[in-house]
Structure 1
Amino acid sequence: MTPEEKQQKLAVKINRDVMDFIESRKSLFLSSIQPDGKPYASYAPFAIGDECLYVLLSEIALHAINLQHNPEASVLIAQDEDSAKELFARIRVNYSVNAELLETDSAAWSEGVDILEARLGERIRNLSQLSDFRLFRLKPQGGRFVKGFGAAYTLVGNSLAGEDVNHLREGHKKRTEAA
């Protein structure tokens, strides 16, 4: 097998692992930037659609205000602590994202709400009818997938699974004693 074929095989496997993992989760951690430039961490339930993530946020929530001010954010989807074999090596994927605010009278809004409702239930339909809720489409701009120690991958491209993956081979290094 050529190096290119090995890389392609690895990419296909990691793509599948990433999608299986994020499909198994229902909430994400969101780091947005406040108008004063300081980071703000929060969480939100999400749905997956068309190589992006959808979140429905109240406009009174700081993360919605932040995304409207600055659409650049970071998303972390992580394995629950209780199910992790190793606390220091929880399975996780993170993305740099651009948040797009969808207009309530658009086809994109309807599609996003439908995707969220199919994944998270009727509460989405109820919340989406409240005038203070905003729908954001989070578009990945690259990311990283960590399956455990020695199993970390850069996700290259603007898709959830990565259009290509690079195994991070430079591992942890033991400290050396000063002479």
Structure 2
Amino acid sequence: MDAKRKAIEHMNSDHMDTLIMLCKHFGAVQNPTNVRLDSIDEDGMDIACDQLLVRVAFLKKAEQNGEGFKTAIIDLMSSLDIKEGIAAVSKDMIDFIDSFNSVLISSLNGDHCVCSYAPVVRDNNDFYILISEVSEHFKSIKENSDKISIMFLEDESKAKTVFARKRASFRSKAIFLDDKKESLFSKFESKFKSESAIKMIKNMSDFHIIKIEINKGRFVKGFGAAYDTDGFEIIQRAHGANPHNNKR
């Protein structure tokens, strides 16, 4: 018996609970019936039920043998945390965000976008960034303060797959707080106390502290695990079903 057929028979015989969970997760079917693993290859699995056929992609190509398929399925299940609720997802998102010292920023400068980053501090439901007026993004953030997007993006070296890096992004609004710079700067001194540059920057008049208010956003944990947010509140799983089209 070849490895594919053996894997299919094993999953259908001994791991129906896993197939049902994957069908619910990727197909957004609340109560799938007659679930079965239809096919498997190095890139993923096709899980069939009465309601639809669901393509489930592996995190990376699987070696086409018994252990290879087993490892790919275990890695996939470990990445999903299917059983966790909204509260757990929300905590995961906040913990993920708090692991960063800087944030990616997209802003609008005339007829083109500016991609940049800045040191960041979170204080309850708001962020504060520290930027210089000589930087390219200063002008774009100041002139189009309500057309900003920020993103916290998982490091490539830590990602299980480069095609589904963990990330949290938000539509945002910038508010310049020059009149409160002295009091707010202590937040940066506390977070970046090991950075020698922070003492130098404090005395530079071209640096500004900007409050970033976040609005609608999205938290992506991996393939088939995207959540819509309103600020830090998880609203719902994004998409009603697996949004990806598969070739047959």
TM range (shorter): 0.7 to 0.9
Structure 1 CA distance for aligned equivalents of residues 99 and 86 of structure 2:
20
Structure 2 CA distance for aligned equivalents of residues 151 and 44 of structure 1:
27
More relative contact order in 1 or in 2 (CA 8 Å, sep 6+)? Answer: 1
1:52 maps to which of 126, 141, 160: 126
2:185 maps to which of 107, 113, 130: 113
Tell which structure's C-alpha radius of gyration is larger: 2
- Residue 176 of structure 2 corresponds to residue 101 of structure 1: yes
User: How much does 1:176 deviate?
Assistant: 4.9
TM-score (norm 2): 0.61
User: How much does 1:65 deviate?
Assistant: 1.2
Identity %: 29
Structure 2 gaps of 5+ residues are 1-83
TM-score (norm 1): 0.82
1:166 maps to which of 233, 236, 247: 236
Aligned CA distance change for structure 1 residues 85 and 70 (closer, same or farther; 3 Å): same
- Counterpart in the other structure of 2:102: 27
8 A contact 1:54–1:136 mirrored in 2: yes
User: How much does 1:13 deviate?
Assistant: 1.4
**Aligned pairs (5 A) from 1:145-156:** 145-156=219-230
- Output the aligned Cα RMSD: 1.8
Aligned residues: 161
- Counterpart in the other structure of 1:142: 216
1:40 maps to which of 101, 114, 134: 114
Structure 2 CA distance for aligned equivalents of residues 125 and 139 of structure 1:
26
User: How much does 1:150 deviate?
Assistant: 1.0
Runs of 4+ residues over 4 Å off in structure 1: none
- Counterpart in the other structure of 1:82: 157
